[in-house]
Chains A and B, each alone.
Chain A
C-alpha cells in the first residue's frame, strides 16, 4: 500500500448548476481503508450534503459513469484511491469541463449519444454454409481492444479539439467515436466502407495526434496509435494514393456510406 490511511479526508467538491455561479465547497469525512474518491462522495452525501449530484453505477470501473476531474486529472472516481493522491492537501473534484453542467459533478453528455447515431452499424457478410461465421482470435483481438471502451467519455473530455472549441463539436466526433469507427473498419466480416464518412462527417483530420485521449483512457486502449493513426493511414491510402485512385476509377467502388 502506497501510504498509511489517514483518519480523515478533505475534498473540495464543485457545487452548482451553472459554471459561472458555482463554487468549490470543502467537506471533511472519516477515512476508511482502501477508500476511493467515489466513497468519499457517498460519505459526503450521507453525512453532510444529501443532494450532492454524482453520477455513478457499477463502482468497479466497468460502466464509465463516474468520470470527473480529480486534482485536475480526468479519472473515474470509483477507480481513484484516496491513498494514491497527496495526503496533506484537499482532493479537488470537478465535473468534466467539455460538457454542459447539469448540477455539481454531473454533466450533460448527450453530445456523445448524438454522435453515436451518425455511425452505421455493422453489416456482416452472410453466414457460411455450415451456419457459422469464422473469425480467428488474432483478427478479433485487434477489434476487442476497441470493444473494451466503457464510454466514460474522458477521452472526449480532454480532446482539445472540442474541449477548447465548442464550435468544432458539429464537425468532429472525437476519440471515442474514432475507436468505434476503427472497430467497425477492422471487423473482419463487415461489409460497409466508412472511409469517406470518417473523413468528411466525423472530422478525423481535426485530430493532430497529441495523444491526450490515450493518456486518460481507464481501459488503456491505444486510441491514438491503434485507432486514429490506423484510420488516418487508411484514409490517406484511399483518397490520396494515386494508384488506389486509378484502381477505384477503373474497377469501381466498394459500397460506401457517406
Chain B
C-alpha cells in the first residue's frame, strides 16, 4: 500500500522510546548485541527526568557495611513495597545492582569515595545499611551523562525532540512507532522489529509534582492501546519532601539525602513528630527515641534506624497528618532541619545543589535555617506488566523498563531503588528486545489506514484552532485549561489520602475532560508549538489518570502508596492480589489477579535469615546467537 501521509521514515531492529536512564541503558545493550538501534527522546538528549534524581543508586556494594548483601537489599525492597512486589524482579534487582554500578564507573562515572578509595554509600529511607552510591546530591546527572557518553561512543542513533504517539502492530508483532518531530512538526514513522518503552511516569497529572512537562504517561497509554496489561496503577508515590514555598517552586524535589545525612523533620512546635508515626510493621527496626535515632547514623549495630528515614509512603502520610492537625509550617508544610544538626561545611559539600536551590529560589540558607517541605507527586510504582527476566510486556515484541514498568517496587518504592532499577532492567529490556528482534526477519507490515487515522487525529486540534478568532469557547477547548482542570481533579481527589466517593467523582470528571479533549483547539502551526504538543499529550495523560483512579477505587484497603480513608487498614485478602488494567474496545477494563508467592529460600530471607548461596550475577537471558540480518 502506498503511503498517503507525508512523513520521515526510518528502519531499525530495536527502537527504544524514552531516553532517561532505562532507555539509554536499554539502547546501549541492544546496540552492544549488534541490533540496529534507535533511541527516541521527547526532549533533548540528556535532559530526561533521571537528571533530577539526587540521592543515589541503591546497590549492596558492601563498601561501607560488610554486613550488607543482596539478601538484605532484597528484604528491604520487599518490605518497603509492603510485600506486593514481583519477588523475582526484586531479587534480580538486588543481585545485579552492584555490577551495574561498577559498570557505570567503568564508563566514566565519578562517585564519591570512601577513605580507602572505594565507592561511598549513604543512608537512605528504608535501607538497613548505608547503600546508595552517590555523587553529592546530583547522582542522576552523573548517571545520565555517563550513559549519554556511552551511547555516543557506540554510535547509537538518537532522535531528539521526537514524540511517539502510537505503536503499530501487525498480527501481534511490532511494525514500528509513529509520531512527530517537535522542532518541525513533521510526522515520523520508525519501522522496528522490537520496541522498548522507557517513557517514565505520568506525574504531570497532579498539580504539586516533581515531574516535568514530559511525564504524561505516553508509554503506559500506548501499551494499553496495543493490548498490553498494566499492573499496580493505584500506587503513586508522593515524595515526602518537596519545596512548598514560594508558590512557584512548589513541588520541586528536596532529596531524601538531607535526612540520610542527618536532617530531621519537625512540626511548628519543634517536635520531631516522626516518632509518633512508626507503624507496627517497622516497629522492631525503628528507633523510638531521639538519642537512639541520632546514634544510628554512626553506630548501626547498637541502634535502630531513625523514623525520619521510614519508607516514603509512611513519611508522606505523617507530614500530611501533621499539617491537617494544624501543626504545619507557615506555608502548609513541615520543617526539615539540617542546619542545627550538621556544620555548614558538611552541608555544602554533601548537599551542594540543595544549598543552591534554596538559596536561589527561596532565599533560604539551609546551613542556618530549616527548610519548609511537603509531599509532591513523584513516581509511579505501577506500569506495564513485564516478565521479570526479559521485561517483555504481555504483547510480543514490546518491552518496558524503568518507571513505565510495574512490579519491581510493589506498593511503595524505596529511595535509591529507581536508579538501580533503570540500570538493571534497562539492560535486561535491551537484551530481551535484541533477542526478540534477532528472531524476526523484518518489522511487521505498516497498516496505512492506521497511520492515516493517527495522523488525522493529531492534526485535528490545529484544524479546529485555525478557525479560532478570539478566546476559546465551549466548542473550542483550550489544552492548558483542560490540563489545569485535570491537575486540580487529581490533586484534590486522587492524592495521598483517598476515599471511595471522591474516586468515583474523579472518574466522572476525567470522563468529562475526555469529552472536552475531543473539542480541543490550538492556534498556530506544527513547528515547536507547545499548545499543540500538550493537546496530544493530554490524551495519554487522561488515559493514565483514569487507570490510576479506577485501580485506586478497586483496591479497598490501605497499603504502601495507596491510602484509603474509608478502608484505613491493610486487608489480608489484598496482600497477594494485583489490580490489572487493560484496554478492551477502547475502554479500560480492570481485574484482579493473584500474586505469586516467593520460593522458600526467599521466604527465609524475608523472615530475616541471611541468604545461603552467593547470587548468580550472570544474566539469565540468553545472548542472541543468530545475529542480525
From B142-150, B414-422, B593-601, the one touching the partner chain is B142-150
Kindly name the residue among B49, B247, B481, B530 whose own CB sees the greatest number of chain A CB atoms within 10 A: B530
Bound form: Cα–Cα A54–B115 in Å? 45
Q: Say if the beta carbon of B141 comes within 8 Å of chain A.
A: yes
Q: Would you call B43 and A57 a contact (CB within 8 A)?
A: yes
Bound form: Cα–Cα A131–B117 in Å? 13
Q: Say if the beta carbon of B479 comes within 8 Å of chain A.
A: yes
Q: Quick one: closest B residue to A112, CB to CB?
A: B44
Q: Would you call A62 and B141 a contact (CB within 8 A)?
A: yes
Bound form: Cα–Cα A35–B247 in Å? 8
What 1/0 mask marks residues of chain B from 572 to 598 whose CB sits below 8 Å from any chain A CB?
Answer: 000000000000000000000000000
Instruction: Write out the residue numbers on chain B whose beta carbons fall within 8 Å of the beta carbon of A136.
Output: 113, 117
Instruction: Write out the residue numbers on chain B whose beta carbons fall within 8 Å of the beta carbon of A79.
Output: 360-361
Instruction: Write out the residue numbers on chain B whose beta carbons fall within 8 Å of the beta carbon of A185.
Output: none
Q: Would you call B363 and A59 a contact (CB within 8 A)?
A: no
Bound form: Cα–Cα A187–B530 in Å? 41
Instruction: Write out the residue numbers on chain A whose beta carbons fall within 8 Å of the beta carbon of B51.
Output: 57-58, 62-63, 150
Q: How far is the CB of B359 from chain A (nearest CB, A)?
A: 10
What 1/0 mask marks residues of chain B from 147 to 185 whose CB sits below 8 Å from any chain A CB?
Answer: 001101100001010000000000000000000000100
Q: Would you call A65 and B47 a contact (CB within 8 A)?
A: yes
What 1/0 mask marks residues of chain A from 51 to 74 whose CB sits below 8 Å from any chain B CB?
Answer: 111111111111111000000000
What 1/0 mask marks residues of chain A from 24 to 38 whose CB sits below 8 Å from any chain B CB?
Answer: 000000001111100
Q: Say if the beta carbon of B560 comes within 8 Å of chain A.
A: no
Bound form: Cα–Cα A175–B113 in Å? 28
Instruction: Write out the residue numbers on chain B whose beta carbons fall within 8 Å of the beta carbon of A184.
Output: 108
Q: Would you call B149 and A50 a contact (CB within 8 A)?
A: no
List residues 13-48 of chain B with CB under 8 A from any CB of chain A.
43-48
Q: How far is the CB of B431 from chain A (nearest CB, A)?
A: 21
Q: Would you call A113 and B45 a contact (CB within 8 A)?
A: yes
Q: Would you call A144 and B52 a contact (CB within 8 A)?
A: no
Instruction: Write out the residue numbers on chain B whose beta carbons fall within 8 Å of the beta carbon of A120.
Output: 153
Q: Say if the beta carbon of A258 comes within 8 Å of chain B.
A: no
Q: Would you call B212 and A57 a contact (CB within 8 A)?
A: yes
Q: Would you call A106 and B480 a contact (CB within 8 A)?
A: no
Q: Say if the beta carbon of B629 comes within 8 Å of chain A.
A: no
Instruction: Write out the residue numbers on chain A whose beta carbons fall within 8 Å of the beta carbon of B105.
Output: 124, 133
Instruction: Write out the residue numbers on chain B whose beta carbons fall within 8 Å of the beta carbon of A133.
Output: 102, 105-106
Q: Say if the beta carbon of A208 comes within 8 Å of chain B.
A: no
Q: Would you call A58 and B183 a contact (CB within 8 A)?
A: no
Bound form: Cα–Cα A108–B182 in Å? 12
Instruction: Write out the residue numbers on chain A whose beta carbons fall within 8 Å of the beta carbon of B107.
Output: 121-122
Q: Say if the beta carbon of A215 comes within 8 Å of chain B.
A: no
Q: A: which residues have CB within 8 A of B?
A: 1-2, 17, 32-36, 39, 45-46, 50-65, 79, 81, 102-104, 106, 108-110, 113, 116-117, 120-122, 124, 127, 131-137, 140, 143-144, 147-151, 184, 187
Please report the total number of B residues contacting A with Cβ < 8 Å: 68
Decide yes or no: A32 and B52 within 8 Å by CB, A54-B530, A57-B214 being known contacts.
no
Bound form: Cα–Cα A192–B542 in Å? 50
Q: Would you call A52 and B530 a contact (CB within 8 A)?
A: yes
Decide yes or no: A46 and B484 within 8 Å by CB, A51-B530, A56-B213, A147-B110 being known contacts.
yes
Q: Would you call A134 and B118 a contact (CB within 8 A)?
A: yes
Q: Contact partner of A134 among B102, B117, B353, CB < 8 A?
A: B117
Bound form: Cα–Cα A181–B305 in Å? 43
Q: Would you call B214 and A140 a contact (CB within 8 A)?
A: no
List residues 190-236 of chain B with CB under 8 A from any CB of chain A.
212-214
Q: Would you call A46 and B480 a contact (CB within 8 A)?
A: yes
Q: Would you call B116 and A51 a contact (CB within 8 A)?
A: no
Bound form: Cα–Cα A214–B439 in Å? 52
User: What are 29 A-B pairs at a CB distance below 8 A?
Assistant: A17-B527, A32-B247, A33-B247, A34-B249, A45-B531, A46-B481, A50-B523, A50-B529, A51-B522, A51-B524, A51-B530, A53-B529, A57-B51, A57-B214, A60-B361, A61-B357, A62-B51, A62-B353, A63-B46, A81-B361, A131-B102, A133-B105, A135-B113, A137-B113, A140-B113, A144-B135, A148-B141, A151-B145, A184-B108
Decide yes or no: A65 and B44 within 8 Å by CB, A53-B528, A116-B152 being known contacts.
yes
Q: How far is the CB of A22 from chain B (nearest CB, A)?
A: 13
Instruction: Write out the residue numbers on chain B whose beta carbons fall within 8 Å of the beta carbon of A17.
Output: 527
Bound form: Cα–Cα A57–B48 in Å? 8
Instruction: Write out the residue numbers on chain A whose beta carbons fall within 8 Å of the beta carbon of B357.
Output: 60-61
Q: Would you call A50 and B248 a contact (CB within 8 A)?
A: no
Q: Quick one: closest B residue to A128, CB to CB?
A: B117
Q: How far is the CB of B28 from chain A (nearest CB, A)?
A: 12
Instruction: Write out the residue numbers on chain A whose beta carbons fall within 8 Å of the beta carbon of B49.
Output: 57-58
